[in-house]
Amino acid sequence: MLTNTLGYPRIGNQRELKKACENYWAGKITLNELQDVAKSIKLTNWQLQKDAGIDLIPSNDFSLYDQVLDLTLTLGAIPTRYAGLTDGNLTDLYFAMARGNQKDGNDVTAMEMTKWFDTNYHYIVPEFYKEQQFSLLSDKAVDEFREAKEQGIITKPVLIAPVSYLLLGKEKEEGFNRISLFERLLPVYIELIGRLVDAGAEWIQLDEPFLALGTDAEAKACILKTYEAIRKAYPSLKILLATYFEGLGENAAFAARLPVCALHIDLVRNPEQLDSVLPVLPENVSLSLGVVDGRNIWKNDYQESLKLIAKAKDKLGANRVIVSPSCSLLHSPCDLTAETNEEVLTPEIKQWLAFARQKLDEVVVLKQLANSENITFAANALKVNIATIETRKTSTLIHDAAVKQRVAAITDADANRNSSFNTRKQLQGKELNLPLFPTTTIGSFPQTKEVRSWRAQFKNGDITQKQYDALLKKETEETIRFQEEAGLDVLVHGEFERNDMVEYFGEKLSGFAFTKNGWVQSYGSRCVKPPVIYGDVSRPEPMTVYWTEYAQSLTDKPVKGMLTGPVTILQWSFVRNDQPRDITCTQIALAIRDEVTDLEKAGVKVIQIDEPAIREGLPLKKEDWGQYLDWAIRAFRISASGVADATQIHTHMCYSEFNDIIEDIAAMDADVITIECSRSQMELLDAFANFNYPNDIGPGVYDIHSPRVPSQGEMIVLLEKAQAVLPANQLWVNPDCGLKTRHWDETKKALIAMVGAAKALRETVAV
């Protein structure tokens, strides 16, 4: 019986990679210094997996920015707009594709970014053209295998398989299907795999996540051809085909019979699929059992996992069973032992958790228990595990009778505004008196080093609450004054008191716990520290009223109250797994509703409830969407429906495709929805136009995930595209997302240009 991991966190225990990348982008360190940091993280990860007892240790799971972008560079699928950068440093080309490039006479936009299936990780979307050619441009996968080999570790290189890679991308011109590129792509994969074999690779992991989503006949034919070609070219190579995030369903028999050595299935998301895979698995194929949750932080229930392992072992024999996490551990924090502050994470809650490092131990102990190895140690580990699981079930921390009663008492009226949108729009127009193409931002403004240092000093007790508040008030007032001078119509206070859009609210809600070092990668150098929802959720006191009310006191223009919505708080937290997610989400919705009504009482006329994770939360299989959307949309409506008609409710979503859920987006009944649109050149608006979306829309005209500053002319072009498909009186003007990660200089230039674009368009419409 073997043990296996599909991938490991690459940010470093102290976010070393984030800091190194940002220093490299700022010109503070050299490329060699950046590569030294990267190498140190890789070697540490390989060694700790080896020391833990993992047999199949991944390589090429490390990335400076994103694993899909790594593969795009490797395969030479470089969009033509980067042609001027291809002769130089491949690393700089790579970062330009991820972040755009606006220096040394260059001015190129970044590639699109979207969510990795139903996670909060973002990947860089490959761009495909009819005449697309592929060739090996980078030896990253081979180089990393050799790095590990030099340390005495023979790894299992990880590659996204050809068909899944194509499906992750987007056609950038009409008249072809990206799957038609398969015949050009496969030989390049065969060449790359050959280089890995020549370097000494014995196992290679090919990720086929789309097999768990359902694939059409053409894609399945290409998948079959992939593995037949690899088997023919390298008959002694062992291929582990990895699926995750869902069950194989109707593809179970197809996947099981592909010419590979091992098939990985996710038994956390879909334990039932074991019964459909075991009967159809050929005698020469092993089964990797994803029994340890790679996406959540709760300690594994050994007894439940052992039942699944025993079933597979009885059918296949121990030598054909591989024990694994459910997916890459990329989505888990690095190491629970770094959590030493008991005031932040209490021992009672900490004992219920397992981060990536601890999940390695769980995998190994499960193998030992199933294989009757190291009997004394394994038996003691099982005993401790059983006691811990029972302790969590009976803890008084978890349950709040008042919260449960309030959820049970919700009626349909609680999920509906008083009047229709048309009635509300008229009342809000009189109340707010906004111009055509009203301008606003999505909420946050740059969090400078000074702001972050104030927060750290306050948490460490180096400055008092009064001193901290005075600093924040000064920053807030400067931000209000800038927005007034720039000519923005609906202002925000800047959120300088907030650390993260989810963590900030979690800190003020009951039922949440926190970590000091529980970071996970969201995209590139952006890391988030998700709260842990361990119990019933409620709001003990107002969370945002003080700072919003203060900001409003500084200006006659409306200031938006800024909140994170219930679905996003749920999705971007590590959620308790001892009750249905919809119940937890409804509890959060009631807490946000309380905040919304308190903001209204304080005189706030515009309130934004961000829900960027609505789309992300969709089950991967379409037949399961209905149930999720019913409770997710209802939760948003509960949070937003306690206010008067004249109070304007906004929501924000980013990096989502809306076509297939547009009716549900409309059902949210937000007065204004703001969305990411700039990287896609307003393509996302087609869904709203085709549906005849009734409420107001703010399509983003400024890509805040890139340091590049767009010109006023570019923004006018985007707004003209928007106006071509939607009525002018329905359009708002705003950036794609919050400005927290940007610098003030670029932010001011971009927002001044944005306001200028809106004013220019008003004149055009007036004429």
What is the DSSP track for 304-353? HHHHHHHHHHHHH-GGGEEEEESS-GGGS-S-GGG---TTTS-HHHHTTB
Whether residues 358 and 442 fall in one domain: no
pLDDT at 364 over 90: yes
Task: Establish whether 357 is an annotated binding residue.
Answer: no
> pLDDT value at position 707?
83
Instruction: Give the max Cα distance, the chain.
Output: 84
> pLDDT value at position 657?
67
Query: In this structure, are residues 645 and 424 in contact, taking their beta carbons and an 8 Å threshold?
Result: yes
pLDDT at 424 over 80: yes
Whether residues 200 and 310 fall in one domain: yes
Residue-number span of the structural domain to which 81 is assigned: 2-394
DSSP state string for 528-553: E---EEEEEEE-SS-SSHHHHHHHHT
pLDDT at 485 over 90: yes
Integer Cα distance of 287 and 322 in angstroms = 6
Integer Cα distance of 61 and 5 in angstroms = 10
Whether residues 362 and 450 fall in one domain: no
Kind and range of the H or E element at 485? helix 465-486
Nearest alpha-carbon partner for 744 in 487, 449, 532: 449
> pLDDT value at position 353?
98
Going by the DSSP 8-state scheme, the letter that residue 593 receives in this structure is: H
> pLDDT value at position 767?
46
Per-residue pLDDT tens over the stretch 160-204: 999 999 999 999 999 899 999 999 999 999 999 999 999 999 999
Amino acid letter, 16:
E
Task: Establish whether 572 is an annotated binding residue.
Answer: yes
DSSP state string for 104-133: TT--BPPPPEEE-TTSS-EEEPPEE-TT--
H-helix segments, 372-432: 375-394, 401-408, 421-432
Query: In this structure, are residues 423 and 645 in contact, taking their beta carbons and an 8 Å threshold?
Result: yes
Please, what is the angle between helix 31-52 and helix 356-371, to 10°? 30
Task: Establish whether 539 is an annotated binding residue.
Answer: no
Mean pLDDT value across residues 456-461: 90
> pLDDT value at position 563?
97
> pLDDT value at position 635?
98
H-helix segments, 75-205: 90-99, 140-150, 162-168, 182-199
Task: Establish whether 443 is an annotated binding residue.
Answer: yes
Collapsing DSSP to helix, strand or coil, 268 comes out as: coil
CA distance readout (Å), 620 to 209, 617, 623: 10, 9, 9
Integer Cα distance of 384 and 387 in angstroms = 5
Query: Per mean pLDDT, which range of 33-37, 182-186, 613-617 is the poorest?
Result: 613-617
> pLDDT value at position 86?
67
Whether residues 203 and 246 fall in one domain: yes
Tokens 């990393």 sit at which residue? 144
Confidence of residue 67 (pLDDT cuts 50, 70, 90): very high
Task: Establish whether 192 is an annotated binding residue.
Answer: no
Residue 744 covered by a domain: yes
Query: Per mean pLDDT, which range of 52-66, 88-102, 274-288, 670-684 is the poorest?
Result: 670-684
Task: Establish whether 527 is an annotated binding residue.
Answer: yes
Tokens describing residue 4: 């296996």
Going by the DSSP 8-state scheme, the letter that residue 729 receives in this structure is: G
Residue 418 covered by a domain: no
Strand ranges for 463-576 from DSSP E: 510-513, 520-523, 526-528, 532-538, 560-564, 574-575
Confidence of residue 656 (pLDDT cuts 50, 70, 90): low
Task: Establish whether 34 is an annotated binding residue.
Answer: no
> pLDDT value at position 80?
93
Residue 640 covered by a domain: yes
Total structural domains in the chain?
2
How many C-beta neighbours within 10 Å does residue 122 have? 22
Integer Cα distance of 278 and 443 in angstroms = 51
Please, what is the angle between helix 140-150 and helix 67-74, to 10°? 110
- pTM for the structure as a whole: 0.89
Task: Establish whether 450 is an annotated binding residue.
Answer: no
How many C-beta neighbours within 10 Å does residue 733 have? 28
Catalytic entry in 122, 264, 493, 705: 705
> What is the β-pairing status of strands 696-699 and 156-160?
unpaired
Computed over every residue of the chain, the mean pLDDT equals: 94
Whether residues 328 and 380 fall in one domain: yes
Integer Cα distance of 593 and 416 in angstroms = 12
> pLDDT value at position 84?
78
> pLDDT value at position 680?
59
Tokens describing residue 458: 């306050």
Cα distance between the two ends of the chain: 76
pLDDT at 684 over 70: no
The residues pairing with 170 across neighbouring beta strands, listed in sequence order, are: 127
Query: In this structure, are residues 735 and 453 in contact, taking their beta carbons and an 8 Å threshold?
Result: no
Mean pLDDT value across residues 405-420: 96
> pLDDT value at position 143?
98
Nearest alpha-carbon partner for 337 in 365, 359, 367, 366: 359
Torsion of CA 351, 355, 360, 363, to 10 degrees: 60
Task: Establish whether 15 is an annotated binding residue.
Answer: yes
> pLDDT value at position 683?
65
Whether residues 456 and 378 fall in one domain: no
pLDDT at 154 over 50: yes
pLDDT > 90 in the chain, percent? 82
Amino acid letter, 335:
D
Nearest alpha-carbon partner for 567 in 543, 600, 548, 592: 592
Whether residues 685 and 594 fall in one domain: yes
Confidence of residue 530 (pLDDT cuts 50, 70, 90): very high
Strand ranges for 635-762 from DSSP E: 648-653, 672-675, 696-699
Per-residue pLDDT tens over the stretch 437-457: 999 999 899 988 899 899 889
Tokens describing residue 542: 């107002």
Mean pLDDT value across residues 14-33: 96
Indicate if 705 belongs to the active site. Answer: yes
Return the CA Rg of the chain. Answer: 26
H-helix segments, 572-624: 581-601
Contact residues for 106 (Cβ-Cβ < 8 A; gap 6+): 84, 85, 96
Whether residues 653 and 678 fall in one domain: yes
Going by the DSSP 8-state scheme, the letter that residue 444 receives in this structure is: B
DSSP state string for 684-711: THHHHHHHT--SEEEEB-S-TTSS----
Residue 419 covered by a domain: no
Task: Establish whether 444 is an annotated binding residue.
Answer: yes
Whether residues 469 and 567 fall in one domain: yes
Whether residues 519 and 657 fall in one domain: yes
Collapsing DSSP to helix, strand or coil, 88 comes out as: coil
Mean pLDDT value across residues 708-730: 87
Mean pLDDT value across residues 712-725: 87
CATH code of residue 75: 3.20.20.210
> pLDDT value at position 166?
98
The residues pairing with 8 across neighbouring beta strands, listed in sequence order, are: none
Query: Per mean pLDDT, which range of 596-600, 612-616, 701-705 is the poorest?
Result: 701-705
Residue 689 covered by a domain: yes
Integer Cα distance of 312 and 109 in angstroms = 50
Residue 159 covered by a domain: yes
pLDDT at 766 over 60: no
Confidence of residue 564 (pLDDT cuts 50, 70, 90): very high
Collapsing DSSP to helix, strand or coil, 463 comes out as: coil
Residue 385 covered by a domain: yes
How many C-beta neighbours within 10 Å does residue 232 have? 10
Whether residues 372 and 434 fall in one domain: no
Q: How many CA atoms lie within 13 A of 192 on its CB side?
A: 30
Task: Establish whether 18 is an annotated binding residue.
Answer: yes
Task: Establish whether 684 is an annotated binding residue.
Answer: no
Integer Cα distance of 220 and 223 in angstroms = 5
Task: Establish whether 122 is an annotated binding residue.
Answer: no
Task: Establish whether 495 is an annotated binding residue.
Answer: yes
Mean pLDDT value across residues 224-253: 97
Mean pLDDT value across residues 736-752: 91
> pLDDT value at position 592?
98
Confidence of residue 679 (pLDDT cuts 50, 70, 90): low
Whether residues 349 and 405 fall in one domain: no
Confidence of residue 415 (pLDDT cuts 50, 70, 90): very high
Query: Per mean pLDDT, which range of 36-40, 538-542, 583-587, 735-739 is the poorest?
Result: 735-739
